[in-house]
Amino acid sequence: MKNKDYKWMLIAGLAAFVTFVCVISGKFFTQKVSLQLGEIAKETLYAPFQVENEVATARKKQEAEAAVKPVYNKDSTIQEKAVSNIETFFDYINTVQTTDLTEKLKKTPVEVLSSFSPIALYNEQYELLLNASAERLETMKNICIEITSKLLGEGISEEESNKSIEVRREVEQKDLSASMKKIAEDIINNVLEPNFVIDEVATNAQKKIAQDKVDPVYVLAQEKIIEKGSRVTEEVYKLLEKVGYLETDSSSRYRQYIGVIVLILLTGGLFYYYIYKTYFNKKNRMTICQKDKRLSLIFMLYTMAMLITRAFLGISFVYLPLGIAGMIIAFAMGPDVAYITHVLIVIFSAIIYKGDIIFILYFLISGIASTLIVTRMQERTKTLMSALYVGGIQFFLYIGLKILIGSTLTVTIVSEAIIAFIMGMICVVAVIGTLPMFESLFDFVTPMQLLEMTNPNQPILKRLLLEATGTYYHSLLVANLAETAASAVEANPLLARVGGYYHDIGKLTCSNYFKENQGSTNPHDYMTPRESYEVIVAHVISGITLAEEYHLPNYIKDFIRQHHGTGVMQYFYIKAQKDSEETVSKEEFSYPGPKPQTKEAALVMLADIVEATTRSMQDKLGKEVQIEDVVRRSVKQKLDEGQLDECQLYISDLEKIIESFTKMLTGMYHQRIAYPERNEKK
């Protein structure tokens, strides 16, 4: 196994270990207590998150069900039967009074009436009725039927089957003697019975509706479940069990640990696949050192996010600065890697914090938004405006999510939204403020840094202008050519421009030895080819020395090393061959290299040779040779020498580069009209 594989395993192992420790010590794995029903709590316990009190909810539903009144159906046959019994009773009285039935049966009238009567009365009451006149009996019958019909018409339920008071009140209003009133009451009470029957189906339906209207009873996050010294009731026991405080099964925690490990390995594997297949691909070629630095940056920021989340447990999640990692990674490796890293951070932070859907949505949306805003910054002077944008997004996002779940705008919610606004600003300022440190430590380039490097007031560029003016303007032309070509082949135009500016700063140490800075005298006319080679090739080494002296970034040093690649110094090589009788090897007159490793470095190399060649032939352009031919020949020379073998340029890109160079140089070296001289003679 290669060393880089061991490094990967170390980084992955450390990241997994930190994540595992933070997760198992977070809110998701709450502290267990050993309590039984009826025991006394040894400490006060609070709900770690919002949970439904199922016992209290069931109790409220039972109360709502008990409050529902039964639904009744009226039985009309009971009223018909009651009226029929009254009529039959008085018909029997009339029969006993007007017929010889008593003689036939050899019984007294009271005995005959009591044996046939559907209404049970006392014998004395039967005797009074038998002695009453027909008119009085008819009146009494009508009164009994009227009151009975009225009361049964209103309805009598089982719960109110005793209607004695209502009967007495109704009878008292009638024109009857006291004894007859008492008999009428007994007759009516005798025939009355409940005629409202409970409808079980309809009643149960009403109870179901009443239960459904009951809102669940919740114990809010950080609300007290049980106080120290209180007895554990069934309601409290179920709450403790539901939030995971009870130690019911010791093996369950280990099963959870396995679940966490599986989740870490799965997400880590997907992240590993994405980084290597999408970012560290052939189009984005990097050295092993560069890869290790990028991975170290991701690991460090990810670990810091996990530790901060764990440290902030117990306070509102709006204080968490989870967006910082994504913003810095976006500057270092692009927004795609930043997004997937941020998602990974949010997933495990939500587990550590035991965050709900609001937690996840808040950090996903705000993290993506802040990455989009900050990575579009081209100048550090825009920091405040970007901070206001990010803070504003977090402010309104927090309020919107709270409204989404049905919360009303309270002072607490608005206060937390203001905190979210402030934290958004702090994150942006922290990212921009620490970015130079990360750029230096982890060797990556940001647009802001590149723009700063193009400032003509950079000390090394000012020196180049004053001490090697020809080289300065040559560098400007190379930068313009490289930048334009970079746009055509999907390279970084700004990086190519910076490379063009600084690639020849080594000429400051011996500027008069280079053609663009010379006057009428050329020092090489008095030097051997070997001496000339040593002076010319020294500008690469001197450039590295100056870059270190002026604390220039590593990518500028790469441009200085690579802008000649391992090419041969053709002029002095050929001259040495002519002057020497011995065989001269190309290696003796080659640049130390290495060959260009990136598109931008290759473009600076090509722009350098094309500009120098075109300038040297400008008197012949348009007359003896075309600019496109010069460009094509120069590019082909570098291709044939193998100087483009290690960069990411393709053959199809070379045609675009030639076209771009030709267009630029044609505009610079276009033919001008030859104006005739003015004849001053009169």
Report whether 323 contacts 374 (CB < 8 A).
Answer: no
Q: Which of 444, 472, 493 is the last residue of a domain?
A: 444
Whether 507 maps to a domain, the answer reads: yes
Q: Which two tokens stand for residue 20?
A: 């595992």
| 588 shares its domain with 462 | yes
Residue type at position 182: K
Nearest Cα to Cα of residue 554 among 409, 444, 405, 417: 444
Confidence of residue 349 (pLDDT cuts 50, 70, 90): very high
Dump pLDDT digits (tens) for 326-342: 999 998 888 889 999 99
Percentage helix, strand, coil for the chain under 3-state DSSP, each rounded to 5: 70, 5, 30
More confident residue, 247 or 317: 317
Please say if the pLDDT value at position 365 is more than 90: yes
Burial of 268 (0-12, 13-18, 19+ CB in 10 A): middle
Taking residues 354-381, report their average pLDDT: 88
Say if residue 408 is in the same domain as residue 492. no
Its domain, for residue 582, covers 450-668
As a whole number of angstroms, the distance between CA 129 and CA 119 comes to 13
**Which of 201-210, 220-229, 369-378, 560-569 holds the top average pLDDT?**
560-569
pLDDT over 80 at 378, yes or no: no
Average pLDDT of the chain is 86
Angular region, 365: left φ>0, alpha ψ -120 to 50, beta rest: alpha
What is the pLDDT at residue 302? 92
Do both 223 and 285 map to the same domain? no
- Confidence band, pLDDT 50/70/90 cuts, at residue 557: very high
Cα angle vertex 605, ends 602, 610, to 5°?
A: 125
Residue 20 included in any domain: no
**Residues 492/486, Cβ–Cβ less than 8 Å:** yes
Pick the closest to residue 491 from 663, 556, 499, 664 (CA basis).
499
Averaged pLDDT for residues 459-480:
94
In this model, does residue 294 exceed pLDDT 50? yes
Q: What is the pLDDT of residue 199?
A: 77
At 246-261, the pLDDT tens digits run: 766 556 667 778 888 9
Q: Do residues 303 and 14 touch, judged by C-beta distance below 8 A? A: yes
CATH code for the domain of 276 = 1.10.1760
Taking 70 as the threshold, does the pLDDT of residue 680 lie above it? no
DSSP assignment of 92-127:
HHHHHHHSSHHHHHTS-HHHHHHHH-SS---HHHHH
477 assigned to some structural domain: yes
- Indicate if the pLDDT at residue 269 is higher than 90: no
Residues 494 and 641 in one domain: yes
169 and 125 both lie in a single domain: yes
| Residues sharing a CB contact under 8 Å with residue 253, sequence separation 6 or more, in sequence order | 29, 32
pLDDT score of 7: 64
- Give the pLDDT band (50/70/90) at residue 474: very high
**Is residue 15 pLDDT above 70, yes or no?**
yes
For range 272-298, the mean pLDDT: 74
What pLDDT score does 305 carry?
Answer: 94
Q: What's the number of domains the chain is made of? A: 4
The percentage of residues in the chain with a pLDDT greater than 70, rounded to a whole number, is: 93
The yes-or-no verdict on residue 377 having pLDDT over 90 is no
Which among 444, 459, 485 is the end of a domain? Answer: 444
Q: In terms of pLDDT, which residue wins out, 1 or 429?
A: 429
Last residue of a domain, one of 444, 476, 502: 444
| Average confidence (pLDDT) over 616-641 | 84
- Which tokens belong to 64? 């709502």
432 and 398 in one domain? yes
Residues 422 and 472 occupy one common structural domain: no
Among 12-16, 444-448, 585-589, the range scoring the smallest mean pLDDT is 12-16
In this structure, are 381 and 490 located in the same domain?
A: no
Determine the 3-state secondary structure of 625 from DSSP.
Answer: strand
The label of the residue with tokens 């010889």 reads 100
Nearest-angstrom CA–CA distance, 651 and 644? 10
Angle, alpha carbons 364-366-372 (nearest 5°): 100
More confident: 79 or 368: 368
Q: What is the DSSP string of 328-380?
A: HHHHHH-HHHHHHHHHHHHHHHHHHHT--HHHHHHHHHHHHHHHHHHHT--SG
Higher local confidence (pLDDT), 519 or 455 = 455
Q: Is the dihedral of CA 593, 598, 599, 600 positive or negative?
A: negative
The verdict on 87 and 231 lying in the same domain is no
Most confident of 444-448, 587-591, 658-662: 658-662
pLDDT grade for 420, boundaries at 50, 70 and 90: very high
3-state secondary structure of 327: helix
For residue 1, name the pLDDT band (cuts at 50, 70, 90): very low
The pLDDT of residue 682 is: 45
Say if residue 230's pLDDT is above 90.
no
Task: For helices 76-98 and 178-191, give the axis angle rounded to 10 degrees.
Answer: 130
* Judgement on whether residues 291 and 401 belong to the same structural domain of the protein: yes
pLDDT at 661 over 80: yes
Residue with tokens 């009873």: 217
- C-alpha span between 207 and 202 (Å, rounded): 9
Assess if residue 435 is contained within a domain: yes
Residue 498 lies in a domain: yes
Candidate from 83-92, 284-293, 450-459, 518-527 with smallest mean pLDDT: 284-293
Instruction: Give the pLDDT confidence score for residue 272 in this predicted structure.
Output: 80
Supply 395's token pair. 């402010």
CATH number where 585 lies:
1.10.3210
CA-CA distance, 540 to 569, in Å (whole number)? 13
One domain, residues 515 and 657:
yes
Question: Taking CA 501 as the corner, what is the angle to CA 476 and CA 655, rounded to the nearest 5 degrees?
Answer: 70
| Predicted TM-score of the model (pTM) | 0.65
Give me the pLDDT at residue 608, please.
94
Which of 131-140, 240-249, 446-455, 508-517 has the weakest average pLDDT? 240-249
Q: Is the pLDDT of residue 595 over 90?
A: yes
pLDDT value at residue 3: 45
Would 29 be classed as within a structural domain?
no
pLDDT tier for residue 671 given thresholds of 50, 70 and 90: low
Query: Distances from the Cα of 498 to the Cαs of 23, 467, 560, in angstroms?
Result: 45, 20, 11
The pLDDT of residue 577: 86
Mean pLDDT of 197-218: 85
Average pLDDT over residues 25-31: 71
Q: Would residue 579 count as lying in a domain? A: yes
Query: What is the arithmetic mean of pLDDT over 41-45?
Result: 79
Question: Between 133 and 2, where is the model more confident?
Answer: 133
Does a structural domain hold residue 19? no
Top-confidence residue, 161 or 213: 213
**Same domain as 269, residue 125:** no
